[in-house]
Amino acid sequence: MKYATLLPSNKKIPINTIFCVGQNYAEHAKEMGGTVASTPVIFLKPSNAVIENGTPILLPKLSNNVHHEVELTVLVGKRGRNISKADAMAHVAGYGVGLDMTMRDVQLEAKKSGNPWSIAKGFFTSAPLSPFIEAANIPDPHQLNISLKVNGTERQRTNTSKMNFKVDDLIVFLSSVFSLEEGDIIYTGTPEGVAQVVAGDVLEAEILTVGTLTHTVV
Ligand code: MG
């Protein structure tokens, strides 16, 4: 069982379902050769893919092109189904930093053949996740500077204001399809600048006022 940590209370919450949003920043959708979708693109990661800050990211044998994707993550604190937009933010327990590590070559092959993305997105160590800062301490999750450095060089930087589907939109949509439970996590999508990582790389992800992650690729 993996746990999410909520700060500053240090409360541990068992991680339930991990929902991830694809193509939620226009510039990233463009670099992938697409556009932002009219309904959210959703895929899942298994909870055993989660690693905490500092744990090495293991390159899978199946891929020759693993990419970094830095993302704002949302911890769901309260169950609900068909949650209204007005109620949506009351279901958020906290916000964190996540990396959605992706076998890009395997994903592109899956896209081409119409197969699921589970292998490309859900492999062991593919979900680095920081502790979560209680939502009350983050006045606006859509005004956060988010960045990623590899070996000290900046690769991704934007502001969460550029997200297409906002946190409340995602909660409305996910709860209408799946229902949401305490301990669910939402990876809200990555901005542009995704690129390959290789063994020995050091990844430093940061969302100002939310947290940081530092991981070595092995
Ligand atoms: Mg992603």
195 CA from centroid of ligand 1 (Å): 12
Q: What is the pLDDT of residue 121?
A: 98
Q: What is the pLDDT of residue 36?
A: 84
Question: Strand 185-187 and strand 18-22: pairing?
Answer: parallel
100 CA from centroid of ligand 1 (Å): 5
135 CA from centroid of ligand 1 (Å): 22
Pick the closest to residue 210 from 3, 7, 4 (CA basis).
7
Q: What is the pLDDT of residue 34?
A: 86
Which CATH number is 3-216's, of 3.90.850.10, 2.30.30.110, 3.40.50.720, 3.40.50.300?
3.90.850.10
Pick the closest to residue 101 from 157, 143, 62 (CA basis).
62
Q: What is the pLDDT of residue 37?
A: 84
Q: What pTM does this model have?
A: 0.97
Break the chain into its structural domains and give their ranges.
3-216
Contacts of 58 (CB under 8 A, 6+ apart): 124, 125, 218
121 CA from centroid of ligand 1 (Å): 8
- Residues within 5 A (CB) of ion ligand 1: 69, 100, 190
10-residue mean pLDDT profile of the chain (218 residues): values are 96 98 94 89 97 98 98 98 98 98 98 97 98 98 98 98 98 98 98 97 98 98
How many Å apart are CA 42 and CA 178, to the nearest integer?
Answer: 11
In terms of Cβ atoms closer than 10 Å to its own Cβ (0-12, 13-18, 19+), residue 53 is middle
